[in-house]
């Protein structure tokens, strides 16, 4: 009667091969060369870098030691115009980007609709708000309405991208159930995709308003009105104490709006999570 003996497993004691570092090294070299070439073509006077801290302190003292509060009422009015500009731009952007972004989602629109829309969004994202404002200035003139239109049009590219990415990431259970019951695109969008994506889309809309607040000040520098125009004028006149007051108004207003909008966005998302957990139970 023969007995079967188990052969013990053999373990290799050889050390594993070291991974190749050639690709990361070449990538680092290429990136470093690009940075060096780009920096060399900027014509930077490196000797002035040592003077920059002193210059910043000097201009800081001119602006804030102390700031001039005589123009505060007008600054608040112009800040309100910038907020109005940002709000109108956000409404226009959201009103257009939500339906267009939903159509660009792969689980909603056909390919002959999705591809042109996504190319359109990419083109808009490639054009800065200032360029759009300069183009609109020839049609609408130097008014805050120009700034609102520029903010609304420029935000469509990014906002619509957030919309279709959010719609594409929604759970597929409700969508498949509606399609199995014979629902079409409109029914699936209304009763499956929109309830799941609405909290995130509303949060993104508020975030667009926050972005527009900051951008509206920049658009004012090119004549679109608001606090940016006032800031540009007093900077050109070298009235640094008034410029310091304007900067304080811009920073404080932006921080307050960011805090309020952030609290609302957190409330929306936390409510959506709680609602989703309750439904899962």
pTM of the full structure: 0.74
Number of H helices, E strands in the chain: 11, 0
Q: Does residue 49 lie within any of the structural domains?
A: no
- The DSSP element (H or E) to which 96 belongs, if any, is helix 72-103
Q: What is the DSSP letter of 190?
A: I
Residue 260 has pLDDT above 50, yes or no: yes
Over 50: is that where the pLDDT of 1 sits?
no
Asked if the structure places residue 11 within a domain, the reply is no
Higher pLDDT, 226 or 78: 78
Q: In this predicted structure, what is the pLDDT of residue 12?
A: 57
| Domain assignment of residue 261, yes or no | yes
Report the domain count for the chain.
Answer: 1
pLDDT of 195 over the 90 cut: no
The answer to the question of residue 48 being in a domain is no
Question: Is 66 domain-assigned?
Answer: no
pLDDT given at position 8: 59
Q: Is residue 165 part of a domain?
A: yes
To 10 degrees, what angle do helices 144-168 and 194-220 make?
A: 150
33-42, 123-132, 168-177 — most confident range: 123-132
Question: Domain holding 130: CATH number?
Answer: 1.10.3720.10
> Can you list the pairs that 164-168 forms with residues at least 24 positions away whose Cβ atoms lie under 8 Å?
164/101, 164/102, 164/104, 164/105, 164/106, 164/118, 166/197, 166/200, 166/201, 166/204, 167/101, 167/102, 167/105, 167/107, 167/108, 167/193, 167/197, 168/105, 168/106, 168/107
| Cis-peptide into 66, omega within 30 deg | yes
The answer as to whether 24 is a domain residue is: no
Quote the domain boundaries for residue 105: 71-280
Tell me the C-alpha distance between 159 and 97, whole Å: 6
Burial 187-201 (b: 16+ CB within 10 A, else e): ebbeebbeebbebbb
Report d(CA 150, CA 95) in Å as an integer: 15
Asked if residue 14 is part of any domain, the answer here is no
pLDDT in tens, 140-153: 777 778 888 888 99
């Amino acid at each position: 009667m023969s007995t079967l003996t188990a052969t013990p497993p053999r373990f290799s004691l050889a050390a594993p091969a070291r991974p190749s570092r050639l690709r990361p090294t070449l990538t680092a070299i290429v990136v470093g060369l690009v940075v060096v070439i780009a920096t060399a073509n900027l014509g930077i006077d490196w000797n002035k870098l040592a003077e920059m801290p002193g210059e910043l302190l000097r201009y800081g003292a001119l602006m804030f030691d102390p700031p001039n509060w005589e123009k505060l009422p007008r600054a608040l009015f112009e800040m309100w115009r910038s907020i109005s500009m940002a709000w109108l731009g956000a409404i226009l952007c959201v009103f257009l980007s939500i339906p267009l972004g939903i159509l660009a989602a792969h689980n909603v629109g056909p390919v002959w609709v999705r591809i042109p829309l996504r190319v359109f969004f990419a083109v808009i994202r490639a054009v800065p708000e200032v360029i759009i404002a300069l183009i609109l200035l020839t049609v609408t003139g130097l008014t805050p309405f120009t700034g609102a239109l520029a903010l609304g049009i420029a935000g469509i590219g990014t906002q619509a991208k957030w919309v279709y990415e959010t719609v594409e990431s929604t759970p597929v259970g409700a969508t498949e159930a509606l399609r199995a019951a014979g629902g079409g695109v409109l029914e699936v969008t209304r009763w499956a995709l929109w309830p799941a994506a609405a909290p995130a889309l509303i949060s993104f809309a508020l975030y667009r308003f926050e972005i527009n607040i900051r951008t509206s000040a920049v658009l004012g520098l090119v004549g679109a009105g608001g606090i940016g125009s006032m800031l540009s004028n007093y900077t050109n006149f070298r009235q640094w104490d008034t410029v310091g007051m304007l900067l304080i108004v811009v920073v404080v207003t932006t921080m307050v709006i960011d805090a309020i909008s952030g609290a609302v966005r957190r409330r929306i998302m936390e409510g959506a999570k709680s609602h989703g957990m309750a439904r899962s139970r």
